Amino acid sequence: MRVGAHVSIAGGVDNAVDNELDVGGNCGQIFTHSPQVWQNPNIGDDEATKFRDGTDASLDGPWVIHSSYLVNLCTPKDDLREKSIDSMQREVDAAAKLGIEYVNVHLGAHTGAGIDGGLDNAVSALDELDVPEGVTVLVESDAGSGTKLGGDFEHLAAVLEASDHNLGVCLDTAHAFAAGYDLSTPAGVDSVVDEFDDVVGIENLHCIHLNDSKHACGTNKDEHAHIGEGEIGVDGMQRIVSHPDLTDLPFVLETPTENGKSFEWNIERVRELRAEA
């Protein structure tokens, strides 16, 4: 089973390998810099080599780079659009340097452009990227609050169909649940997976952000909970990690550190749920 967590690169990106091993993961996700600012990843050659060598020696992979929170592909504002494209180009270039297969990004908010306008903006922004060979951009499902797009599977499908790139999808379980896709029962999980397959295509799903939700289905509230201890719960989470269409995918956790539990506890819980299924 490929399961891991979003870990820190403090002190150098190569430290992410040991940080992932420390929490019991065999794949994972990183930011290349603070996600709250516009910043160059600035990864040195030596640390990139150490990262690649450490990954090859100790982890199953894959790694995912999560783009900056400031990126908004759907925006109608020219200056934010250009900053977003530049930031994404730096991320896909960093992924190539590190041997990382995926760069994950939210579509963002249309802020008045409308759904169709926002999706068109996202496609045109993505199509300006020069994506290196071996790197795939993943569009992440969203909780769907406000004018944010990506909460509906149809949004993801539209972007994948219209883009010149061979894009993929990262499905965040907490986001999908918040957006109204009920994953709290085995039957619900089966229904959501079938709907995803019908609308987007299961072959386009490359990664799962495995998170429970602190809020009820359809609330559009994005707040993650420990695995099995949120509103999705044990039954839903167990079916997600054991569903035959999902078992070979990498599961990357973004669960909280609270109540004496952190990534290590959650990763072990995921493995227990798979084993007990």
pLDDT of residue 141: 98
Q: What is the CATH number of domain 3-276?
A: 3.20.20.150
Read off the amino acid at residue 190. Answer: D
Q: Smallest Cα–Cα separation from 254: which of 2, 32, 5, 23?
A: 5
Which stretches of 136-199 are DSSP H helices? 153-162, 173-178, 186-199
Domains of the chain, by residue range, sit at 3-276
**CA 207 to chain centroid:** 7
> In this predicted structure, what is the pLDDT of residue 219?
98
User: Structure pTM?
Assistant: 0.97
Token pair recorded at residue 263: 């990534």
HSE-CB at 101 with a 13 A cutoff on CA atoms is: 12
Phi/psi of residue 206, each to 5°? -110, -20
Q: Which of 147, 130, 75, 132 is nearest to 100 (CA)?
A: 132
Alpha helices of 104-150 — where are they, by DSSP H? 115-127
Per-residue pLDDT of the chain (277 residues; tens, 9 = 90+): 999 999 999 999 999 999 999 999 999 999 999 999 999 999 999 999 999 999 999 999 999 999 999 999 999 999 999 999 999 999 999 999 999 999 999 999 999 999 999 999 999 999 999 999 999 999 999 999 999 999 999 999 999 999 999 999 999 999 999 999 999 999 999 999 999 999 999 999 999 999 999 999 999 999 999 999 999 999 999 999 999 999 999 999 999 999 999 999 999 999 999 999 9
- Residues 6 or more apart in contact with residue 41 via CB below 8 angstroms: 32, 33, 90, 91, 94
Model confidence pLDDT, tens digit, residues 120-156: 999 999 999 999 999 999 999 999 999 999 999 999 9
